[in-house]
Amino acid sequence: MSLAEKRLYYHDSYCTRFTGVVTSCREAEGRWLVRLDQTAFYPTSGGQPHDTGRLGDARVLDVFVENGEVVHATDRPLPEGEAVEGEIDWVRRHDFMQQHCGQHVLSASFEQLYGMDTVGFHLGAEWVTVDLDAEPTWDQVAEAERLANQVVWEDRPVYARFVTKEELAALPLRRAPKVNEDVRVVTIEGFDHNPCGGTHPHRTGEIGLIKVVKTERMRGGTRLTFVCGKRALRVVQARFEAVNELARRLSVSVEDLPAAVEKLSQEAQGAQKRMRVLQDQWLDLRAEALVRRAAPEGGDVQGGPWICDAVEDVDTADALRGLAQRVTGREGGATVCALAADTGERVSLVVVSRDPRVDAGTVVRAALAAHAGRGGGNAKQGQGSAPLVPGTDASTVCETVRRVLASLA
Ligand SMILES: [Zn+2]
DSSP codes, 322-372: HHHHHHHHSTT--SEEEEEEEETTEEEEEEEE--TT--HHHHHHHHHHTTT
Which amino acid, one-letter code, is at 391?
G
Q: What is the pLDDT of residue 80?
A: 96
Tens of pLDDT, residue by residue over 320-354, are 999 999 999 877 788 899 999 998 899 999 999 99
How far is the centre of ligand 1, averaged over its atoms, from the C-alpha of 27 (Å)? Answer: 32
> 299 near 308, Cβ under 8 Å?
no
Domains of the chain: 3-88 (2.40.30.130), 94-247 (3.30.980.10), 279-408 (3.10.310.40)
How far is the centre of ligand 1, averaged over its atoms, from the C-alpha of 192 (Å)? Answer: 11
CA 139 – CA 37 distance, rounded (Å):
50
How far is the centre of ligand 1, averaged over its atoms, from the C-alpha of 199 (Å)? Answer: 6
CA 263 – CA 238 distance, rounded (Å):
25
How far is the centre of ligand 1, averaged over its atoms, from the C-alpha of 198 (Å)? Answer: 4
How far is the centre of ligand 1, averaged over its atoms, from the C-alpha of 210 (Å)? Answer: 15
Residue 1 pLDDT level (bands cut at 50, 70, 90): very low
Is a pLDDT exceeding 80 seen at residue 403?
A: yes
Tens of pLDDT, residue by residue over 42-90, are 999 888 899 999 999 999 999 999 998 999 999 999 999 999 999 999 9
How far is the centre of ligand 1, averaged over its atoms, from the C-alpha of 142 (Å)? Answer: 23
Q: What is the ipTM of this complex?
A: 0.99
CA distances (Å), 151 to each of 145, 233, 239, in order?
10, 18, 25
How far is the centre of ligand 1, averaged over its atoms, from the C-alpha of 22 (Å)? Answer: 28
How far is the centre of ligand 1, averaged over its atoms, from the C-alpha of 7 (Å)? Answer: 15
Supply the mean pLDDT for the chain. Answer: 92
How far is the centre of ligand 1, averaged over its atoms, from the C-alpha of 298 (Å)? Answer: 81
Residue 3 pLDDT level (bands cut at 50, 70, 90): low
Tens of pLDDT, residue by residue over 237-252, are 999 999 999 999 999 9
